[in-house]
Amino acid sequence: MNQDLKTRIYGILEPGDEDSKYFDPFIMGLIVLNVAAVVLETVQSIYSAYAFLFRAFDVFSVAVFTVEYILRVWSCTVNPRFKDPVRGRLQFLVTPLAIVDIIAVLPFYLPIFFMDLRFMRAMRLFRLFRVLKLARYSEALQTFVDVLRLKKEEILLMFFAIMILLVVSSSLMYEAENAAQPEAFSSIPVAMWWGIVTLATVGYGDVYPVTLWGKLIGSIVVILGIGLFALPTGVLASGFAEVLAKRKEDRKMQKFRCPHCGRYIGDLACSAGPGGQEEPKEK
């Protein structure tokens, strides 16, 4: 009985399961309302008029998220990855989504132990992390996470390439402009502000080169920045195409699974007959 209840609760909490068709929209709506509440609380006139409602809604949300977290920890052993009652639950607690779940409720409980009002105000802002819980229930966000996981090496390589270009361009601009603009380019770290806005091709115009060599270096950096920042777009587009194609193939193949043995129909290893029993092998 206890195992059946645990399995049922696990099915309700697990996104995409048949039992979770009502729970998923409820949690997603609650998360969106929490983010909206955090935003509206910064409008002093609205918060002053409805402070009690904001507080009551926060208490209700934390209660729901806390119960959800406890039930997830309790029922996670249904998953074969976490089947061990102790070690399995410890492994579950350090998974990224479980960490997001605990971060979502910590801003409510921490002020109980830390009564500094400045700390409490800072914790209010951390409630925005509840939006990360949408990654568990939103297929679109989960797709984006899968793309980042698939292309993490390429993205990391491009990040290092951007950092190298930033350091080199800022160093060259410092050498070219320091004498002419000692305040704007007083050091290489200060020159990095110019490098960031130039590589990102936003060019705020608050810091810009005035010497001939500085303008030449700036022109080259702008051109390189356009090309370098276009690379992640292609990598992410390729990643989305691969992930979506794989999901489409998985859904297609899911239709051809044998309901008895779980293997794909047509596979030589599939030997279950219509009754679910393996057919006798010919002697």
pLDDT in tens, the chain (283 residues): 567 788 888 888 877 666 677 888 888 888 888 888 888 888 888 988 998 999 899 899 989 999 999 999 998 888 888 888 889 899 999 988 888 888 888 878 877 766 555 555 555 566 666 666 766 666 677 788 788 888 888 888 888 888 888 899 999 999 999 889 888 888 888 888 888 888 887 767 778 889 999 899 988 988 888 887 778 888 888 888 888 888 777 776 665 555 555 555 554 444 444 444 444 444 4
The pLDDT, as a whole number, for residue 279 is 47
Rounded to whole angstroms, the Cα distance separating 11 from 1 reads: 15
The pLDDT, as a whole number, for residue 60 is 93
The pLDDT, as a whole number, for residue 278 is 47
The pLDDT, as a whole number, for residue 274 is 47
Tell me, what CATH number does 229's domain have?
A: 1.10.287.70
Do residues 246 and 126 both lie within one domain?
no
Do residues 91 and 187 both lie within one domain?
no
In a domain, 208, yes or no: yes
In a domain, 187, yes or no: yes
Long-range contacts of 229-238 (CB under 8 A, 24+ apart): 229/162, 229/199, 229/200, 229/201, 231/158, 232/155, 232/158, 235/151, 235/154, 235/155, 235/158, 236/147, 236/151, 238/151
The last residue of one of the domains, among 85, 105, 137, is: 137
The pLDDT, as a whole number, for residue 127 is 66
Of 211, 224, 241, 252, residue with least CA distance to 150? 241
Rounded to whole angstroms, the Cα distance separating 244 from 213 reads: 48
In a domain, 283, yes or no: no
The pLDDT, as a whole number, for residue 273 is 47
In a domain, 61, yes or no: yes
In a domain, 183, yes or no: yes
In a domain, 276, yes or no: no
Tell me, what CATH number does 101's domain have?
A: 1.20.120.350
**For the chain, how many structural domains are there in total?**
2
Do residues 130 and 177 both lie within one domain?
no
Q: Which structural domain, as residue segments, surrounds residue 200?
A: 152-254
Do residues 16 and 133 both lie within one domain?
yes
Do residues 26 and 125 both lie within one domain?
yes
Do residues 118 and 181 both lie within one domain?
no
The answer to whether the CB of 77 falls within 8 A of the CB of 88 is yes
The pLDDT, as a whole number, for residue 216 is 92
